[in-house]
Chain A
Amino acid sequence: MGVMDFLMQGFQTAIQPQNLFFAFIGVLIGTAVGVLPGIGPMSGVALLIPVTATFTSGMDPSAAATSSIILLAGVYYGAMYGGSTTSILLNTPGESSSVVTTLDGYQMARQGRAGAALSIAAIGSFFAGIVSIIGLVLLADPLSEMALKFGPAEYFSLMLLGLAAVSGLAGGSITKAWMMTVTGLLIATIGIDAVSGVARFTYDIPVLFGGLEFLTVAVGLFALGEVFKTILHKEEDAEKVAKVGRVLPSRADLKESAGPIARGSFLGFFIGVLPGAGATLASFFSYIAEKKISKNPEKFGKGAIAGVAAPESANNAASGGAMIPLLTLGIPGSGTTAILMGALIMYNVQPGPLLFSDHPDVAWGLIASMFIGNLMLLILNMPLVKVFAKIIETPAKYLLPIIIAISVFGVYAVQVTTFDLFLLIGFGLAGYLLAQNDYPIAPLVLGLVLGPMIENNMRRALTTSNGDFMVFVQQPISAFFLVCAVLWILIPFVLRLKGKNVVVNVEG
């Protein structure tokens, strides 16, 4: 069967009424998450995992996994659409990948062209979404074919590369990023060891036998951590929300932004595929690229529509591109995709090359639903942008306690122990303290998700080599991944020695 047949089957899955409904809910909540400052795509997705788990509890496992991942991915790319709204109307980015959009977007709003900026952002996001899904369709098969040939040694090295990429690009201090990664890997060892069946670090406490639940840790670190931060730090006085005005862009606007949208989409897609580099980096790169090739670069920062079109396309394309390593290799390249991966594993669906042969309905259903979801987002964001702009005015005094209540409900509904609730609050406090002191959280979650797999592959590889660690460098592909991982760590280090600033903070 060719790619087109699989895609058609995917559409058959995606247009089932419940999946259409889940895609719609996902993109709707995603847009709201993007609009609300303080809730990023990571905490949005983490918060919704337990909610989707309860919604899909009556379905059979494979269908439940499909519906859940459709909803959760919708939140992810939906947030990329919504993020532009506050950047343009309020000069406050809803999430970090929309930071550059404020430069020209807010200027356009001050000139009374907010509507045009918002609609160009939506059109650009739509185009970029479609580009990245086509890329996903084309690359999915060859990449998973290739990955099927990997043995445990290759997998171990590839996952190490993934960890190196994310740790190397996360936040100011690489030491801190690695500490977070190792802590995540260590936490993952708690519980029954999957290979030998030996209980580790459980001390005969029954709740620890299953290990610390990924869901509890992720919701605590991201969602509660952010809520605690907003409670502790006085919120800034609300700025005036700019008027939206005429929504449809003029013909000149469209003409002016066609090039930036196309370039932003392709650039964003390729940056998104790379592990570690995410939507934030993509939006910055595309903004700078546009400024460089523009005939009148002096217009940038004063309301150039290209300065909105390019980064908004790029961040959306990057979020689509980031799905590729997740789905085909089983290696999440960012915090948000790590959370998506954790969700899939909760449903006993292992992302990776076998996903396309074992669970084609999940993989292709998701891809097809992304086409539909992007279309929904375009429709939602053009006429309804004024409604979404109203969400900005949700009072924090209701929002924050309700987020805590949703976290407690979600964790309790899935885990049904008060132990997990205390764990949730504990990780929330840890998440606040760590993030506040520049300890990146995404690597910890990545380590937690990848930990068991890294360990299993390491031990399987060592078993075949009779305990000889050289096996990882003797296999050519594995050695290549390890060299890449080492370079990823060394290059920023060398650049820093030469006095260059290599601080990159990716949204994860």
Chain B
Amino acid sequence: MGLGEVFLLLLFSNKEGSTLQTGKFDRYASILFALLGAAFLIESRNISKSAYGSEVGPNVFPFLLGLILILLSVKLFLESFKNIQKEKKNTESLQIKRFIIILTASLLYAGFIETLGYILSTFLFLYVSFQAMERGSWIKNGIIALAFSFFVYFLFVVVLEGSLPGMPIWFS
């Protein structure tokens, strides 16, 4: 029983990941990462090269890293073609609808937390998300959402004397 077996065991135990074929995604991702690297590379030239307190200026490190990221992206781009034929159609159905609802709710939550106040925005976010996950009793979901919002606010603001946006602006 050698190392080979250990690695095989690890390979098979790994439910998702290593056996995944991700050719298409990799190709787009490699382009994106190359652009990211290029952006850092080009923008690093605008950083002052003055090396006050150091022989090497603040532009060198990001410049080198940007270059390495571009090279790695090229490597991944080439590798992605090897995987493409083996690509299998993903049969698993994704729960797109509830994901979109919760994602939108999260973005609105982040955007309105300061105007609506912590308690109200948290309650609304949780209530919508609970219903999106699984339509259920509105009383029970409402109570849990309300209890969480009040509990966190009470613990943080009243007990620990931290600061969170309180009531809506037009309310106070």
Q: Which residues of B contact A463 (CB under 8 A)?
A: 53-56
Given A198-B58, A405-B126, answer yes or no on A505-B10 (Cβ-Cβ < 8 Å): yes
- A-B pair count, CB < 8 Å, reads 214
A502 at the interface (CB under 8 A from B): yes
Are B133 and A422 neighbours in the complex by a CB distance under 8 Å?
no
Are A459 and B113 neighbours in the complex by a CB distance under 8 Å?
no
B35 at the interface (CB under 8 A from A): no
Q: Quick one: which of A172, A193, A398 has the most chain B CB within 10 A?
A: A398
Contact of A175 among B47, B52, B75, B102 (CB under 8 A): B75
CB distance from B150 to the nearest CB of A (A): 13
Given A405-B126, A438-B22, A503-B18, answer yes or no on A232-B65 (Cβ-Cβ < 8 Å): no
Contact of A288 among B5, B25, B69, B98 (CB under 8 A): B5
Contact of B95 among A193, A198, A232 (CB under 8 A): A232
CB distance from A411 to the nearest CB of B (A): 9
Given A234-B95, A500-B4, answer yes or no on A172-B56 (Cβ-Cβ < 8 Å): no
Are A400 and B113 neighbours in the complex by a CB distance under 8 Å?
no
Are A408 and B17 neighbours in the complex by a CB distance under 8 Å?
no
Residue of B nearest to A407 (CB): B106
Interface size band for B: 35 or more
Q: Which residues of A contact B98 (CB under 8 A)?
A: 231
Given A284-B9, A500-B4, answer yes or no on A189-B61 (Cβ-Cβ < 8 Å): yes
Are A231 and B56 neighbours in the complex by a CB distance under 8 Å?
no
Interfacial residues of chain B within 3-34, with CB under 8 A of chain A in the complex = 4-11, 13-14, 17-20, 22, 25-26, 29, 33
Determine the distance from Cα of A50 to Cα of B45 in the docked complex, in whole angstroms.
Answer: 36
A55 at the interface (CB under 8 A from B): yes
Q: Quick one: which of B20, B72, B160 has the most chain A CB within 10 A?
A: B72
Q: Which residues of B contact A99 (CB under 8 A)?
A: 13
Interfacial residues of chain B within 41-82, with CB under 8 A of chain A in the complex = 43-44, 47-48, 50-62, 65-66, 68-69, 72-73, 75-76, 79
Interfacial residues of chain A within 320-338, with CB under 8 A of chain B in the complex = none
Residue of B nearest to A184 (CB): B65
A179 at the interface (CB under 8 A from B): yes
Are A409 and B152 neighbours in the complex by a CB distance under 8 Å?
yes
Determine the distance from Cα of A103 to Cα of B102 in the docked complex, in whole angstroms.
Answer: 36
Are B56 and A462 neighbours in the complex by a CB distance under 8 Å?
yes
A3 at the interface (CB under 8 A from B): no
Are B8 and A501 neighbours in the complex by a CB distance under 8 Å?
yes
B169 at the interface (CB under 8 A from A): no
A9 at the interface (CB under 8 A from B): no
A219 at the interface (CB under 8 A from B): no
Interface size band for A: 35 or more
Q: Which residues of A contact B96 (CB under 8 A)?
A: 232
A490 at the interface (CB under 8 A from B): no
Are B55 and A175 neighbours in the complex by a CB distance under 8 Å?
no
Are B52 and A196 neighbours in the complex by a CB distance under 8 Å?
yes
Given A437-B22, A438-B18, A459-B56, answer yes or no on A408-B106 (Cβ-Cβ < 8 Å): yes
Determine the distance from Cα of A467 to Cα of B48 in the docked complex, in whole angstroms.
Answer: 17
Are B110 and A422 neighbours in the complex by a CB distance under 8 Å?
yes
A285 at the interface (CB under 8 A from B): yes
Interfacial residues of chain A within 494-508, with CB under 8 A of chain B in the complex = 500-505
Q: Which residues of A contact B19 (CB under 8 A)?
A: 172
Contact of A413 among B61, B109, B156 (CB under 8 A): B156
Q: Which residues of B contact A231 (CB under 8 A)?
A: 95, 98-99, 102, 133
Residue of A nearest to B33 (CB): A179
A477 at the interface (CB under 8 A from B): no
Q: Which residues of A contact B163 (CB under 8 A)?
A: 416
Determine the distance from Cα of A438 to Cα of B87 in the docked complex, in whole angstroms.
Answer: 14
Q: Which residues of A contact B44 (CB under 8 A)?
A: 200
Contact of A402 among B110, B126, B161 (CB under 8 A): B126
Residue of A nearest to B149 (CB): A405
Q: Which residues of A contact B5 (CB under 8 A)?
A: 288
Contact of A185 among B13, B54, B55, B65 (CB under 8 A): B65
Are B134 and A397 neighbours in the complex by a CB distance under 8 Å?
yes
A421 at the interface (CB under 8 A from B): yes
Residue of B nearest to A447 (CB): B65
Are A467 and B17 neighbours in the complex by a CB distance under 8 Å?
no
Are A179 and B17 neighbours in the complex by a CB distance under 8 Å?
no
Contact of A233 among B92, B118, B162 (CB under 8 A): B92
B139 at the interface (CB under 8 A from A): no
Are A193 and B111 neighbours in the complex by a CB distance under 8 Å?
no
Are A503 and B11 neighbours in the complex by a CB distance under 8 Å?
yes
A228 at the interface (CB under 8 A from B): yes
Q: Which residues of A contact B59 (CB under 8 A)?
A: 200
Are A186 and B110 neighbours in the complex by a CB distance under 8 Å?
no
Given A175-B75, A201-B43, answer yes or no on A505-B18 (Cβ-Cβ < 8 Å): yes
CB distance from B88 to the nearest CB of A (A): 14
Q: Which residues of A contact B114 (CB under 8 A)?
A: 418
CB distance from A497 to the nearest CB of B (A): 15
B-binding residues in A (CB < 8 A): 54-55, 57-58, 99-100, 171-173, 175-176, 178-179, 182-183, 185-186, 189, 193, 195-196, 198, 200-201, 228, 231-234, 280-281, 284-285, 288, 291-292, 396-398, 400-402, 404-405, 408-409, 412-413, 416, 418, 421-422, 424-425, 429, 433, 437-439, 455, 458-460, 462-463, 465-467, 500-505
- Additional pairs, 8, CB under 8 Å, beyond known A99-B13, A182-B37, A284-B9: A182-B65, A196-B50, A198-B58, A201-B40, A408-B109, A424-B110, A467-B56, A501-B11
Can you list 6 pairs linking A and B with CB atoms under 8 Å apart? A173-B79, A179-B73, A183-B69, A196-B54, A437-B26, A459-B54
Report, nearest first, the 7 A-B pairs whose CB atoms are least far apart: A401-B129, A421-B110, A172-B18, A397-B133, A463-B55, A193-B58, A437-B22
